[in-house]
Amino acid sequence: MSFIDQDKIEELIQSVDIVDVISEYVSLQASGKSMKGLCPFHSEKTPSFHVSKDRQLFNCFGCHKKGNVVGFIQEYKHLDYIEAIRYLADQYHFDLGENDQIVQKYNYSKLYDINKTAKDFFNLNLLNLDSGKKALDYLIDRKIDKHTMNDFNIGYAPPRNNILLKNLKENFQEFEMVEAGLIGRSQSGEYYDLFRDRIMFPILNEQGKVLGFSGRILSDDKSQAKYINTQATKIFNKGEILYNLDKAIPFINQRKRAVLMEGFFDVIQAYMAGVEESICTMGTELTVEQAKKIKKYTDNVVICYDGDSAGKQATYRALNILEKAQLNVQVALMPDGLDPDEYIKNHSQAMFRNQLNQNLIDKYDFVFEMIIQKGIQSSSEIELAKNALFKFLLASASKTITSIYLQKFSEVVHLPLEAIEQDYKKYLVNQRRFQTIEKEKKPLAIPKISKARTTAEIKLISYYLQSDDYRSLIDDEFHQFHFSKGLRFEIFSTMREMNHQNREVALYNLKSDLSDKAFEEFQDMLLKENYQYSDIELRELIDTLILESLVEEINELKETLTIKLNNKQNDEYYKDKLILDDKRKSYEIIKRRRNDKKANPS
């Protein structure tokens, strides 16, 4: 822990001028002996936010927030007292003289400094040097003006493979650049720039420190990944970061909501259109950690993803995660399958603001439409849709909302409401039974992973990297098996996600997306370059994983059956007994097929 002397804190407060600090965030004008402006903590049209230079205090007569310079930073940046003190000290280069009671494990400031230097270098290349003209023209063509480029610190990484390296070497060592995720090292020991010929988006934390970068190619060349991110570092974890949150916080405070988008260009265009509370993830699905971070600043979220089918599916998944974080969610659907960036450029900023303010869709209506849009003509489709609706209502709806949507569903499927309500009651009973069974289950011993499974998983990863044909075969069979939890699971899941996003499943992408530990493991497990890949071996590997997965499922079902038999849940017992018998049959069929192939290899 660190200890900060109270005298040092008082000295810091006296050394900074509250007017200078607040002027960084609020436009202030003289009003008698004080300054005034629009309050950053609530929405207003007439200024009621006053700052006194003499008393070094702020006071809003609208929302009644008041305090000194530390209190302002706490409120504006959502920091605790000590964090706000450290933030001010860092901004004004004030030495707090902290007394470390234990040795500090890592000096993160070096990574921040390297990234800031790289940000300035990329920005200079874009806006001030001839080498950035191609990138500058590209951004202007996408309707982004120079003021906005500066505002978002957008830059350009030149195509030469060591120009950033040479620039950084003036102040930093090579191993520090590698640690920051900006420089790579070849097997021969040569250092090189990881980002080349890309538009660079700096990724900042809430305090405005540069954590890393995302680089976009200037064309739609399918042979390259459209975006590559800084690989995982001690300060950069893409699953926890929200782009533009640093600038969006005051607007989130004022408007009592955050607008969640999919891409950087969506956020930038929305910001230019006056929807400054816009944020987005790092080109991946929304995570629980990101949802929790949003919750720190607001209780309300508008999801504004792409308006196409994929965007709607992503909205549905994000909505469920935001619900679990206890956030109130609404949806803004862009017409004609457009993304926000396209919609603004094809229509107008005013029409976009109208979509975000006047045409929001209630989360229940959105989920209901998603459930029934897949078709509910056959009995099986009705059953699937009904269970999906029940699951959502049980997780997030009050009795009133549940009643409304059960009624709507009965009207859509042309079935009596009484029948739907009875099914819902039965669903509730079954869910309670399931929860009881889960509570009574003994904690499963972590199964020992067999050598056959380990070998099959390692080889399958190399096959997945090898070609589209192998990837298709593996994906077709993936519903029948699973990977054991751990680094191999992370590697395989990341590769599949890349493939489904139409990103190249390649080493440089994996280096960007995997954690350091996983990428190290990945490099160690790759098969030799001259390895003889074959369809026959791949089929055997898949069969091995299917058999191993079946064994695990059979063992778990046996335990569940014992509990249900003891609880005299006869109906449930016999249903699961049939499932167990089917899995045993599947196991025997696959095992027999493998043995036959070994006996008759031709």
Residue 201 resides in a domain: yes
- Asked if 478 and 588 sit in the same domain, the reply is yes
pLDDT at position 3 is 64
Instruction: Look at 83-87, 104-108, 241-245 and tell me which has the smallest mean pLDDT.
Output: 104-108
pLDDT at position 504 is 77
Residue 307 resides in a domain: yes
Residue 566 neighbours by CB distance under 10 Å: 10
Contact (Cβ atoms closer than 8 angstroms) between residue 3 and residue 98: yes
Task: Report residue 179 as tokens.
Answer: 């640690």
- Asked if 460 and 398 sit in the same domain, the reply is no
Domain extent, residue 573, equals: 451-599
CA distance readout (Å), 116 to 108, 177, 203, 210, 268: 13, 12, 10, 6, 20
Of the residues 72, 100, 128, which one is the last residue of a structural domain? 100
- pLDDT, tens only, 5-16: 777 888 888 888
- Asked if 409 and 466 sit in the same domain, the reply is no
The side-by-side arrangement of strands in the sheet containing 198-204 is 155-157, 198-204, 210-216, 227-229
Residue 366 resides in a domain: no
Is the pTM here over 0.85, yes or no?
no
Check pLDDT > 90 for residue 463. Answer: yes
User: Rounded CA gap, 35 and 52, in Å?
Assistant: 6
Phi, psi of 58 (to 5 degrees): -120, 155
User: Rounded CA gap, 323 and 318, in Å?
Assistant: 9
Residue 234 resides in a domain: no
Check pLDDT > 90 for residue 219. Answer: no
CATH number, domain with residue 153: 3.90.980.10
User: Rounded CA gap, 321 and 268, in Å?
Assistant: 24
Residue 446 resides in a domain: no
- Asked if 455 and 550 sit in the same domain, the reply is yes
pLDDT at position 185 is 81
Which residues are CB-contacts of 315 (< 8 A; sequence separation ≥ 6)?
Answer: 303, 305, 331, 333, 366
- Asked if 170 and 207 sit in the same domain, the reply is yes
pLDDT at position 101 is 45
Which residues are CB-contacts of 505 (< 8 A; sequence separation ≥ 6)?
Answer: 464, 465, 471, 495, 498, 499
- Asked if 586 and 468 sit in the same domain, the reply is yes
Of the residues 204, 229, 254, which one is the last residue of a structural domain? 229
Strands of 217-355 (E only): list them.
227-229, 258-261, 278-280, 300-303, 328-331
- Asked if 192 and 220 sit in the same domain, the reply is yes
Mapping DSSP to helix (H, G, I), strand (E, B) and coil, where does residue 477 land?
helix
- pLDDT, tens only, 353-367: 999 999 999 999 998
- pLDDT, tens only, 103-135: 344 467 889 999 999 999 999 999 999 989 999
- Asked if 176 and 50 sit in the same domain, the reply is no
- Asked if 23 and 94 sit in the same domain, the reply is yes
More confident residue, 107 or 198: 198
Question: Could you tell me how far CA 451 lies from the centroid of its own chain?
Answer: 34
User: Rounded CA gap, 410 and 432, in Å?
Assistant: 24
Of the residues 229, 254, 273, which one is the last residue of a structural domain? 229
pLDDT at position 103 is 36
- Asked if 199 and 279 sit in the same domain, the reply is no
More confident residue, 602 or 578: 578
Residue 527 resides in a domain: yes
Residue 458 resides in a domain: yes
Total count of domains within the chain: 5
- Asked if 211 and 264 sit in the same domain, the reply is no
- Asked if 115 and 196 sit in the same domain, the reply is yes
User: Rounded CA gap, 377 and 300, in Å?
Assistant: 36
User: Rounded CA gap, 333 and 146, in Å?
Assistant: 29
46: Cα within 13 Å, side-chain hemisphere: 2
Residue 364 resides in a domain: no
